A = this chain, B = another copy of it.
Amino acid sequence: MVRKNKGVLKIYESLQEKTISTSYLYRGKIINVRQDRIKDARGKTAFREVVEHPGAVAILAVNENNEAILVRQHRQPAGGVLLEIPAGKLEPNEDPLECARRELVEETGLQAGKWRELTYFYTSPGFCDEKVYLYLAEDLKKGSSKTSDPDENIRVEAIPLSQARDMIADGRLDDGKTIIALQYALLQETC
């Protein structure tokens, strides 16, 4: 085991890159762009363009009929309307679970009696630091109607988990976090 750990450490050392300097190229509303000068283990230097994002949560909310609660909304970057699990950006210093509770009620009007963190993932680590915390929310009930955010022009839909696989295959579901969450549910359920 020690030998193996040493081997793994050596691999990590040989791949590691050190940041020499950082400069900001753009500061925006949601994201910033910085340029890092790095040095790799062979002494070679290079520049890396990094998009900084505050991080986000996403919620696999499943009701008693084995349906996932999804939201349909326009996504300007995709140039159209997408069907996704509820999700949202972390506020500064916000606890991810608190953020998940907030986003679920804002986007769907639902509150969940049972919460569990399933996993986290980077959405596109080649150029962006966005990290998404994925939660399972069960035991759903309607929250106070006032908590739903009137500024969010979204439509809530319940999709049977049994339809998710076809909807991923034919492109009706084409959002990364949504595919991860629904495939997770399918693997739990049927395997």
Give chain A's interface residues, CB within 8 Å of chain B: 11-12, 14-17, 19, 25-26, 28-31, 33, 36, 38, 40-42, 47-51, 53, 56, 72-82, 84, 87, 89, 119-132, 153-155, 165, 168-169, 171, 174-177, 179-180, 183-184, 186-187, 190-191
Q: How far is B153's CA from A36's CA once the two chains are assembled, in angstroms?
A: 17
Chain B, Cβ-Cβ closest to A18: B74
User: How many angstroms from the CA of A50 to the CA of B29 in the assembled complex?
Assistant: 10
**Could you tell me if A76 and B36 are in contact, using CB atoms closer than 8 angstroms?**
yes
Shortest CB-to-CB span from A72 to chain B, Å, is 6
- Are B16 and A175 neighbours in the complex by a CB distance under 8 Å? no
Q: Which of B77, B84, B125 is the one whose CB lies under 8 Å from A75?
A: B125
Question: Which of B51, B126, B174, B190 is in CB contact (< 8 Å) with A122?
Answer: B174
The 5 closest A-B pairs by CB, nearest first: A183-B183, A26-B26, A77-B129, A48-B76, A75-B125
Closest chain-B Cβ to A132's Cβ sits at a distance in Å of 7
Q: Could you tell me the distance in whole angstroms from the C-beta of A138 to the nearest C-beta in chain B?
A: 18
